[in-house]
């Protein structure tokens, strides 16, 4: 009764893409999202909340990566999100007068 | 179509992540269940009772005098901490900030009744051993911590995919139990029903467990990006470090009675338990005393308090009232620890947590058995099948032998006299790991899961019954006497083992030798699969 292989990823490159996107890409998205929030909101509260939400978001993003049709596209999506959140973090560090206050 | 695809993906993810972490997770849950009773085990082993829970139960000034006989204290930071409900408190002495005091700092335990000091190894216990096995601390740091932390993270991943697989039938499957149907359905029904019962418990433990072991992966980006590498600052912001006080290198004129402060604070904050005393720059003009503690959980779930006095003037330089509203930061932080340690609800909560922990062990075992059964089919090549079976034999042998090995260790640690305390760690390591290895190899060699199950249960339950007997014979504290004397630590451990043995005997009584494992045809397996959906 193992899962029906016709629905699973056959190509090793695709599979590697999804695994790395889930674990690494998921981690980058999770962390950059939390950093972006911390740079604009009460950073202590965001950091301490991430004790719970960090691993939950990361785990969910791992699952999502495997639902993607293409390993490259999910990497592209995760990289794009990381870039977006990093930009927000950079803006927060540069322009938020309350940064780390 | 889409649904079938995602179902199969979730299924595959759940299978693969589950089978990879299964053995590690089993050890974590098994040792973790006993860790709820860590302090009771320690007191039971040492045959010591504690009269006061939580708070440091000694006159600190007398303790300081006794330490001063061995160490020049001037200019040191001295910390007393009572992490556990034991008679011993941890004492940490830093190097002196006065460079003329060359004697190095130290760490030791101090018995609050006899004032005897002992090093970490001389204080080693089976309670400590099992507690540390729970996060693989016997593997050198940080490898063991990271291994257990990432196991917790992938456990969360397995839970998530597990819920997704069962989401559509989570209600109806919950009421499905067909123990007299096919063997396969027993495992699947048990796996889903017990997995669902344990779900909230397991999610909490997966997430908080990951945090306790690999919080570094969450903290590191914050340090690098937000704090520009300033670690000290982030740990102060998060409340993990106390503010530091400068050393002035001038002898303090007046004598400070630290214990008076401890007594006074109880009047100020009702029922406040001082669990940590930190003295900065002892005997110096810059000497500061910080008392850290909490109010009982029944009064307030997160009632952490802290007060700092400047010794020279006696003024309060920092204060956090435990009865004042708790900050968001402290609330989140404290609930994380309390949820994981399960120590806020007395023995009832500990016992329920213990049972849920062992229940999770059962979910893991049934998961391995489903994995095996699902691959026991005609179209699977013989070689592949042999490999799967070997994996199954090894996994079950490692997991199931843990029960008799733990019971044996309880007996051994009770028989090893206190005079041998310095070698207790070596003895426990040898007994535990060697017997675990030998039994695992033996049952792997026997290649029979039924046999593994039966004889580990039998050995564990017989040894388990012997534990209270050995304790009674060695210490004279027979279980009925400790119950009558209300020595709860002794009674709880003896009773716990009796209850486990009873449950194991009951299981053994109902254990049926299975007919030769039928190999399922394709049609059968399709039928089973539809059962499962």
The DSSP output letter for B300 is: -
pLDDT interval class at B9 (50, 70, 90): very high
pLDDT interval class at B529 (50, 70, 90): very low
Question: What CA–CA distance (Å, rounded) separates B45 from B37?
Answer: 12
Candidates B57, B48, B128, B127; CA nearest to B482 is: B48
Instruction: Tell me the pLDDT tens digit for each residue of B501-523.
Output: 999 999 999 887 765 555 554 44
* Average confidence score pLDDT of chain B: 91
Q: Which of B1-10, B197-206, B313-322 has the lowest mean pLDDT?
A: B1-10
How many degrees, rounded to 5, is the angle at CA B387 between CA B384 and CA B393? 145
Cβ–Cβ < 8 Å for B272, B76: no
Tokens 């945090």 -> residue: B211
- Determine the distance from the C-alpha atom of residue B464 to the mean position of all C-alpha atoms in its chain, rounded to a whole number: 21
Question: What CA–CA distance (Å, rounded) separates A1 from B14?
Answer: 13
Q: In which element (H, E) is residue B88 found?
A: strand B88-93
Interface predicted TM-score (ipTM) of this complex, two decimals: 0.96
Q: What is the reported pLDDT for B170?
A: 74
The DSSP output letter for B420 is: G
Cβ–Cβ < 8 Å for B45, B413: yes
CA dihedral B163, B167, B172, B174 (to 10 degrees): 10
Q: What is the reported pLDDT for B525?
A: 45
B176, pLDDT greater than 90 = no
Instruction: Tell me the pLDDT tens digit for each residue of B418-429.
Output: 999 999 999 999
Cβ–Cβ < 8 Å for B324, B317: no
Q: What is the mean pLDDT of residues B17-28?
A: 97
Residues of chain A with Cβ-Cβ distance to B153 below 8 Å are 55, 58-59
Closest Cβ opposite residue B226 in set A52, A56, A100: A100
Taking the Cβ of residue B226 and every Cβ of chain A, the question of whether any pair is shorter than 8 Å is answered with: yes
pLDDT interval class at B173 (50, 70, 90): confident
Residues 6+ apart with CB under 8 A from B53: B85, B273
Instruction: Tell me the pLDDT tens digit for each residue of B331-384.
Output: 999 999 999 999 998 999 999 999 999 999 999 999 999 999 888 888 889 999
CB atoms B153 and A58 under 8 Å: yes
Taking the Cβ of residue A7 and every Cβ of chain B, the question of whether any pair is shorter than 8 Å is answered with: yes
- Shortest distance, CA B328 to any CA of chain A (angstroms): 7
Closest Cβ opposite residue B8 in set A4, A31, A50: A4
- For an interface test with B, which of A5, A34, A51, A53 has the most B Cβ atoms less than 10 Å from its Cβ? A51
Q: What is the reported pLDDT for B2?
A: 57
The DSSP output letter for B238 is: T
Q: What is the reported pLDDT for B119?
A: 94
B123, pLDDT greater than 70 = yes
Instruction: Tell me the pLDDT tens digit for each residue of B484-507.
Output: 999 999 999 999 999 999 999 999
- Shortest distance, CA B281 to any CA of chain A (angstroms): 30
Question: What CA–CA distance (Å, rounded) separates B175 from B142?
Answer: 43
Q: What is the reported pLDDT for B299?
A: 87
Tokens 């919950």 -> residue: B174
């Amino acid at each position: 009764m193992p899962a029906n292989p016709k629905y699973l990823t056959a190509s090793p490159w695709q599979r590697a893409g999804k695994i790395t996107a889930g674990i690494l890409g998921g981690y980058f998205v999770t962390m950059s999202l939390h950093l972006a929030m911390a740079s604009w909101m009460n950073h202590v509260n965001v950091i301490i909340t991430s004790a719970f939400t960090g691993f939950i978001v990361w785990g969910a993003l791992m699952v999502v990566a495997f639902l993607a049709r293409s390993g490259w596209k999910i990497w592209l999506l995760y990289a794009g999100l990381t870039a977006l959140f990093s930009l927000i973090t950079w803006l927060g560090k540069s322009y938020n007068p309350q940064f780390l206050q | 179509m889409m649904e079938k695809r995602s179902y199969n993906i979730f299924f595959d993810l759940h299978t693969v992540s589950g089978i990879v972490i299964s053995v590690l997770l089993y050890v974590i849950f098994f040792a973790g269940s006993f860790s709820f009773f860590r302090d009771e085990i320690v007191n039971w082993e040492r045959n010591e009772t504690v009269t006061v829970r939580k708070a440091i139960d000694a006159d600190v000034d007398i303790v300081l005098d006794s330490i001063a006989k061995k160490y020049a204290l001037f200019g040191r930071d001295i910390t007393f901490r009572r992490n556990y409900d034991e008679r011993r408190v941890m004492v940490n002495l830093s190097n002196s900030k006065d460079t003329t005091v060359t004697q190095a700092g130290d760490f030791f335990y101090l018995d609050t009744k006899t004032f005897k000091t002992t090093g970490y190894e001389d204080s080693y216990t089976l309670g400590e051993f099992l507690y540390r096995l729970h996060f693989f601390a016997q593997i050198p740091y940080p490898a063991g911590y990271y291994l257990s932390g990432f196991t917790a993270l992938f456990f969360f991943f397995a839970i998530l995919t597990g819920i997704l697989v069962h989401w559509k039938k989570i209600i109806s499957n919950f009421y499905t139990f067909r123990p007299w149907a096919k063997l396969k359905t027993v495992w699947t029904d048990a796996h889903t029903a017990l997995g669902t019962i344990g779900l909230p418990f397991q999610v909490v433990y997966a997430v908080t467990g990951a945090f306790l072991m690999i919080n570094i992966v969450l903290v590191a980006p914050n340090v690098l990006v937000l704090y520009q590498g300033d670690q000290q600052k982030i740990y102060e912001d998060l409340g993990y470090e106390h503010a530091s006080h400068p050393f002035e290198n001038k002898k303090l004129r007046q004598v400070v009675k630290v214990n008076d402060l401890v007594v006074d604070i109880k009047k100020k904050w009702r029922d406040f338990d001082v669990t940590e005393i930190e003295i900065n720059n002892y005997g110096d003009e810059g000497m500061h005393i910080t008392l850290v503690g909490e109010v009982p959980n029944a009064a307030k779930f997160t009632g952490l308090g802290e007060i700092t006095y400047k010794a020279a003037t006696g003024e309060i330089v920092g204060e956090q009232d435990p009865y004042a509203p708790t900050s968001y930061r402290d609330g989140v932080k404290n609930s994380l620890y309390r949820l994981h340690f399960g120590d806020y609800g007395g023995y009832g909560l500990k016992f329920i947590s213990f049972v849920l922990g062992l229940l999770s062990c059962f979910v893991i075992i049934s998961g391995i058995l489903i994995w095996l059964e699902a691959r026991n089919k005609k179209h699977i090549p013989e070689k592949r099948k042999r490999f799967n079976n070997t994996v199954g034999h090894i996994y079950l042998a490692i997991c199931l032998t843990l029960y008799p090995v733990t019971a044996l260790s309880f007996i051994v640690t009770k028989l090893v006299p206190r005079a041998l305390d310095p070698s207790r760690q070596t003895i426990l390591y040898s007994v535990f790991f060697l017997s675990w290895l030998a039994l695992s190899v033996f049952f792997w060699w026997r290649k029979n899961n039924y046999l593994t199950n039966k004889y580990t249960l039998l050995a564990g339950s017989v040894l388990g019954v012997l534990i209270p007997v050995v304790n009674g014979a060695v210490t004279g504290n027979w279980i009925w006497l400790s119950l009558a004397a209300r020595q709860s630590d002794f009674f709880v451990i003896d009773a716990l083992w009796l209850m486990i043995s009873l449950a194991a005997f009951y299981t053994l009584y109902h254990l049926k030798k299975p007919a030769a494992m039928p190999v399922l045809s394709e049609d059968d397996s399709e039928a089973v699969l539809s059962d499962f959906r």
